[in-house]
Amino acid sequence: MIAGQASRQAVMAAGDRVLLVRPDGHEATGREVQARTTGLALALGKHGLAGQRIGLWSWNSAAAIEAHLATEWIGATRVPVDPGAPPAEATAVFKAAGVVGVVVDAAHATDAPAGALVHDDDSPLSATGTLEAREIPPGTTHLLYPRMAAEGQFLAVPMSYANWAACMAINAELYQGGHYGQGFDGTERFLTVQQIMHGTGMLGTFPFIHMGLPQVTLPRFDAAAVLEAAERHRATATFVVPGMVTRLADAAASAGASLPQAGGLRRIIYGGAPIAADDLTRAVGILGPVLIQVYGRFEGGWPLAILSAADHGALAAGHSPHAGSCGQPIPQTGLQIRPTPGHDTPWGELCVRNDMVVADWADPDGWCGLGDLARLDDDGYLYLGPRLDGMINTGSYHVYPQEVRDAITALPYVRAALVRGEDDPVWGQAVTAYVVAAPDAPGELGQGIREALKQRLASYKIPKRVIPVPALEDITPRP
């Protein structure tokens, strides 16, 4: 296959139509995006990065999207790091992944590894020449999505170019087929507010590029700014995590009649965790019938199941038998609930098979066990239970307890720690640390640990609860 062929063709076909819009209203046409991305791709090639692993560390921007596309167009593997991660974490990920070069925006240039290349909206990296098509095996890794880098261990999901192409095609089918809400047409405009390295890139940012439709890109989430941008730029769709939905509802309620419902958004897609029943009812009442929940996994596909706007309306009205469900499986995936030791039927491990499944995570028959305990009801709605591997799902972000525990026990005043996810009405699960402290530990143990971890871990990995205990044996086991 030709690396980046679909996205290159889509950008070229856009021509003089607007594809990218900055917060200040500056618009870039397909022709302009093509020129800037091609120039960046040529520059990366001249630095010897074609076909190599490239680290990416930038806040949302047009330039960040160009960096992702340029990496694809030269047949390279992108290794993105959350822009809010501290330099120590970013450096650890890049080292563990074996990146050959790093591309950052101006905001990260000071903290970036030595030799990092800067590509920013106002200072683009570019070279001249002709960008030749690069043929690659379909199984070439396109996205190496980092899950954990700690104590020399690196866990990442190696999504291939073929997996990525399937994800783009499936999401376009879901939009155009009404699975993300009815009335999808050429007036659609996406609003990117969650960081593009996460689910929004797979479900909105890049599918809209592939469909040749425009999008507005905000550097980070701010509820009032999202609603204002949606109205000002006529955005119709966005993707957020559950905590952002409640903040959007709060902001819309505060704005009152000064903004249209949901800022004019026709579809607010969210994923990673359910919303508490009371918060869901309130959000639907304020934002309108625009909420759509998705469930997905990087190794198995984004998305895998959808809870529709109509389902949300029924839940808010108290008329639905599907409370707690994450929706119905998409038509493009196969699904099995496999019996799991220690769990009675109908509960079992959720397994999927589709073209998005990452080969390294699949069995010889192509089935991918997702590590989620799940069941299906008689109407075909999917319900999720706890993780089988102890991974923490907090506000749609996946956190591995070992990484957090290692960071905590590296502190000189900590003797031992246990980290796990515990139920939380806002985050689904809260990262919770039980800590055995030394006598010289700071009086405000939780505050001290959280401050120290800001230098080592992204904010979503830092424990929301730190509980001092005399010994780990004193901790009550989870049911």
CA gap 261, 267 in Å, rounded: 11
Which residues 6+ apart lie within 8 Å of 439 measured at CB?
A: none
Q: Which residue has the tokens 């990218």?
A: 20
CA 199 to chain centre: 3
State residue 334's pLDDT score.
Answer: 97
> For residue 137, what are its two tokens?
């095996």
Q: Are strands 77-80 and 117-118 parallel, antiparallel or unpaired?
A: unpaired
**pLDDT, tens digit, for every residue of 240-280?**
988 899 999 999 998 876 667 778 899 999 997 788 889 99
Q: What is the structure's pLDDT at 393? A: 80
How far apart (Å, rounded) are the C-alpha atoms in residues 356 and 23?
32
First to last CA, the chain: 49
147: tokens are 């899950």
Pull the structure tokens for residue 231: 């109205």
Q: Which domains does the chain have, with CATH numbers?
A: 5-160 (3.40.50.980), 221-387 (3.40.50.12780), 392-474 (3.30.300.30)
Cβ-Cβ contacts under 8 Å for 24 (sequence gap 6 or more) = none
How far is the C-alpha of 73 from the C-alpha of 65, rounded, in Å?
A: 12
pLDDT tens for the chain, 479 residues long, are 999 999 999 999 999 999 999 999 999 999 999 999 999 999 999 999 999 999 999 999 999 999 999 999 999 999 999 999 999 999 999 999 999 999 999 999 999 999 999 999 999 999 999 999 999 999 999 999 998 876 667 889 999 999 999 999 999 999 999 999 999 999 999 999 999 999 999 999 999 999 999 999 999 999 999 999 999 999 999 999 888 999 999 999 988 766 677 788 999 999 977 888 899 999 999 999 999 999 999 999 999 999 999 999 999 999 899 999 999 999 999 999 999 988 888 999 999 999 999 999 999 999 999 999 999 999 999 999 888 877 888 876 788 888 899 899 999 999 999 999 888 777 778 899 999 988 888 878 889 999 999 988 888 899 999 999 988 887 877 65
Burial group, residue 60, by CB count within 10 angstroms (0-12, 13-18, 19+)? buried
Question: What residue type is assigned to position 253 of the chain?
Answer: A
Rounded Cα distance, 356 and 366, in Å: 10
The rounded distance, in Å, linking the Cα atoms of 367 and 334 is 9
Q: Lay out the sheet containing 465-468: strands in order across.
A: 414-424, 428-437, 465-468
What is the pLDDT, as a whole number, of residue 479?
53
> Residue 297 contacts by C-beta under 8 Å, 6 or more apart in sequence?
304, 370, 372
What is the residue whose two structure tokens read 């989620």? 372
Measuring CA to CA, which residue among 371, 227, 203, 179 is closest to residue 303? Answer: 203
Rg (CA), the chain: 22
SS (H, E, C) the chain: CECCHHHHHHHHHHCCCEEEECCCCCEEEHHHHHHHHHHHHHHHHHCCCCCCEEEEECCCCHHHHHHHHHHHHCCCEEEECCCCCCHHHHHHHHHHHCCCEEEECHHHCCCCCCCCEECCCCCCCCCCCCCCCCECCCCCEEEEEEEEEECCEEEEEEEEHHHHHHHHHHHHHHHHCCCCCCCCCCCCCEEECCCCCCHHHHHHHHHHHHCCCCEEECCCCCHHHHHHHHHHCCCCEEEECHHHHHHHHHHHHHHHHHCCHHHHCCEEEEECCCCCHHHHHHHHHHHCCCEEEEEEECCCEEEEEEECHHHHHHHHHCCCCCCCEEEEECCCCEEEEECCCCCCCCCEEEEEECCCCCHHHECCCCCEEEEEEEEECCCCCEEEEEECCCCEEECCEEECHHHHHHHHHCCCCEEEEEEEEEEECCCEEEEEEEEEECCCCCCCHHHHHHHHHCCCCCHHHCCCEEEECCCHHHCCCCC
